[in-house]
Amino acid sequence: MKHDPRWEFFKCQRCGRCCIEIGLPYYAESAIEISQFLKISLSEVIERYYGKVVENGKTFRLQDKKGKPCPFLRKEGGKYSCTIYHIRPYGCKMYPLETDFGCQGVDCPAARIANEEFEKKSASADWQEDER
Ligand code: SF4
Ligand code: SF4
C-alpha cells in the first residue's frame, strides 16, 4: 500500500482536517465492519452514518449523507484521533495518497511536509549524482 516514496516522510499531525472536511468515506464493506466493531445491526449503522442503501442491479452502494465532520473523530488534548482506527475505511488508510499526496482538496500539513522533504532529498540526490 505504501509504495509512494513520500510515505517515508509522512507523519500525521493529527490536526483532524481530513476527517473534518472530507468526513467518513462511503464503502459498503466499511458499513459491515463498523457494524461488527460497534456490535450494532447493519441497518442501524446505515441509518446513523450513511443514509440509505441505493440498489443498482446486483451491486449496491451507500448514499453519501456527507456527514461532516466524521462522527468517529474525537479530540483529546488538542489532538484528533479516530475511534474506529483499526477498522477505518480504505479511503482513510490511503489518505493522502488518493489526493495526489495532499496536493488536492484538504490542506494536509503532514503531506505538505512530506512533499517538501521528498523534494529536498531528491534535489540532494540529484546534486550528488552531478558531482560524480
Ligand atoms: S473513520 Fe476515522 S480516519 Fe476515517 S474519517 Fe472518520 S475519524 Fe477520520
Ligand atoms: S489532514 Fe493530514 S495531518 Fe491532518 S489529520 Fe489528516 S492526515 Fe493527519
What pLDDT score does 109 carry?
94
Structurally, how many domains does the chain consist of? 1
**Tell me: the pLDDT tens digits for 54-105?**
777 666 666 666 668 999 999 999 999 999 999 999 989 988 887 878 778 8
User: Which residue in 4, 45, 41, 3 sits closest to 24, CA to CA?
Assistant: 45
- Taking a C-beta distance cutoff of 8 angstroms, is the pair 25, 70 a contact? no
CB distance 92 to ligand 1 below 6 Å: yes
User: Which residue in 108, 5, 102, 87 sits closest to 38, CA to CA?
Assistant: 87
pTM over 0.85: no
CB distance 82 to ligand 1 below 6 Å: yes
Q: Is there a domain that residue 90 lies in?
A: yes
Residue nearest (by alpha carbon) to ligand 2 atom 2:
108
Q: Is there a domain that residue 71 lies in?
A: no
Q: Is there a domain that residue 43 lies in?
A: no
What pLDDT score does 62 carry?
67
CB distance 112 to ligand 2 below 6 Å: no
For residue 91, give the ligand 1 atom closest to its CA. Answer: 4
Q: Is there a domain that residue 118 lies in?
A: yes
What pLDDT score does 37 carry?
97
What is the Å distance from ligand 2's center to 56 Cα? 34
**Tell me: the pLDDT tens digits for 11-53?**
999 999 999 998 888 788 888 999 999 999 988 988 888 877 7
CB-based burial label for 33 (10 Å; 0-12, 13-18, 19+): middle
Torsions phi, psi for 91 (to 5 deg) = -60, -35
Q: Is there a domain that residue 108 lies in?
A: yes
Q: Is there a domain that residue 115 lies in?
A: yes
- State how far the Cα of 87 lies from the Cα of 100, in Å rounded to an integer: 23
- State how far the Cα of 129 lies from the Cα of 126, in Å rounded to an integer: 5
Q: Is there a domain that residue 101 lies in?
A: yes
* Domain boundaries, position 107: 1-20+84-127
What pLDDT score does 114 carry?
92
Q: Is there a domain that residue 79 lies in?
A: no
